[in-house]
């Protein structure tokens, strides 16, 4: 039987994209609490530094290595620096994402592309660059998907397309990298409180309350709900799990619930 040891990621290096804020910050903190040295990747060095300082103040190990996930060469440099400072990478969380509510006919081709580039290409770039600096034995990659991958939503054509791609990328990498010892799984977070994404799509107030009331578990997620799932997937308890895309969404996708973003939330509302 597998039991969770305290500090079960001691001696391991984790790379978390989007780790400067939101859900990914909490994931980074939880991995560090479990002993991992956490390399934070994101666009803004000062945000990464602030999160790393918090982790260090709490007794953990962390540093920020700024890169835009759309830039493969920058990610390769960040991965190399993380490897150099902390040792070979064996946990990767692909969390960087972009989103805004917009109808397809109010979106430029470049607007659509920007989300595809951050979410889908960025996930590939993160996995591919980290791979070059990875210790594959027992390694775990977790991609962060969204309900939009399986549930069509108005004003979300870019995110629906990108996250559906992320899920298939996740499953394909699981096939190709499983024989090397690398597990690759995805998490579908439902609506998460206190995040930029939720604030954009389901602003606090009646829209969010109505969404929460429809969810089978009758509440939106906390960041810890999602971080717990990622910790599980990186742990030995999940050692036979790969290619799985796991909803951690209070039943949102099972119930086929779509977020009803108000028109006033768009630029063209
Ligand atoms: C229409 C918009 C728009 C909007 C931007 N664009 N916002 N079009 N409506 N509200 C267009 C711009 O006009 C431009 O097109 C193109 O998109 C790129 O915009 P830039 O601002 O130049 O790009 P960039 O600075 O790279 O910013 C990327 C971004 C931005 C995605 C647009 O929102 C961002 O940086 N987001 C990161 C943070 C974030 O989104 N966090 C929430 C993630 S939550 P033109 O044609 O004018 O050049 C998440 C979870 C989803 O993803 C699930 C929730 C349940």
Q: Residue 253 domain-assigned?
A: no
Residue 2: pLDDT over 60 = no
List the domain range (segments joined by +) for residue 60. 13-248
Instruction: Provide residues with CB under 6 Å of ligand 1.
Output: 97-100, 102, 107-108, 110-111, 114-115, 118, 146, 148, 159, 191, 196-197, 201, 267
Segment 45-90, tens digit of pLDDT: 999 999 999 999 999 999 999 999 999 999 999 999 999 999 999 9
Segment 210-222, tens digit of pLDDT: 999 999 999 999 9
Ligand 1 centroid vs 225 CA: distance in angstroms?
26
Segment 127-178, tens digit of pLDDT: 999 999 999 999 999 999 999 999 999 999 999 999 999 999 999 999 999 9
Q: Residue 106 domain-assigned?
A: yes
- Total domains in the fold of the chain: 1
Q: Residue 6 domain-assigned?
A: no
* Helix, strand, coil percentages for the chain (3-state, nearest 5): 45, 15, 40
CATH of the domain at 168: 3.40.50.720
Sheet holding 37-41, edge to edge: 61-64, 37-41, 13-17, 89-94, 140-144, 183-189, 245-248
Q: Residue 267 domain-assigned?
A: no
Q: Residue 269 domain-assigned?
A: no
Q: Residue 1 domain-assigned?
A: no
Q: Residue 58 domain-assigned?
A: yes
Tell me what the pLDDT averaged over the chain comes to: 96
pTM equals: 0.96
Q: Residue 264 domain-assigned?
A: no
């Amino acid at each position: 039987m597998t039991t969770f040891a305290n500090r079960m990621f001691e001696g391991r290096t984790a790379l978390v994209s989007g780790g400067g804020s939101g859900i990914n910050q909490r994931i980074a903190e939880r991995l560090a609490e479990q002993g991992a040295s956490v390399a934070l990747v994101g666009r803004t060095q000062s945000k990464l530094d602030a999160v790393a300082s918090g982790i260090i103040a709490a007794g953990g190990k962390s540093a920020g290595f700024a890169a835009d996930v759309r830039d493969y060469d920058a990610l390769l440099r960040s991965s190399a620096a993380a490897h150099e400072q902390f040792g070979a990478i064996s946990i990767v969380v692909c969390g960087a994402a972009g989103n805004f509510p917009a109808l397809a006919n109010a979106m430029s081709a470049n607007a659509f592309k920007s989300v595809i580039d951050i979410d889908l290409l960025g996930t590939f770039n993160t996995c591919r660059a980290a791979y070059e600096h990875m210790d594959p034995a027992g390694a775990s990659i977790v991609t962060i998907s969204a309900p939009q991958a399986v549930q069509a939503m108005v004003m979300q054509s870019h995110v629906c397309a990108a996250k559906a791609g992320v899920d298939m990328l996740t499953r394909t990498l699981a096939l190709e990298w499983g024989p090397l010892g690398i597990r690759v799984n995805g998490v579908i977070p439902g609506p998460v409180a206190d995040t930029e994404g939720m604030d954009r799509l389901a602003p606090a107030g009646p829209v969010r309350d109505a969404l929460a009331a429809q969810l089978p578990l009758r509440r939106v997620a906390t960041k810890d709900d999602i971080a717990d799932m990622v910790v599980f997937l990186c742990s030995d308890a999940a050692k036979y799990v790969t290619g799985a895309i796991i909803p951690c969404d209070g039943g949102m996708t099972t119930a086929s619930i779509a977020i009803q973003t108000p028109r006033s939330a768009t630029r063209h509302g």
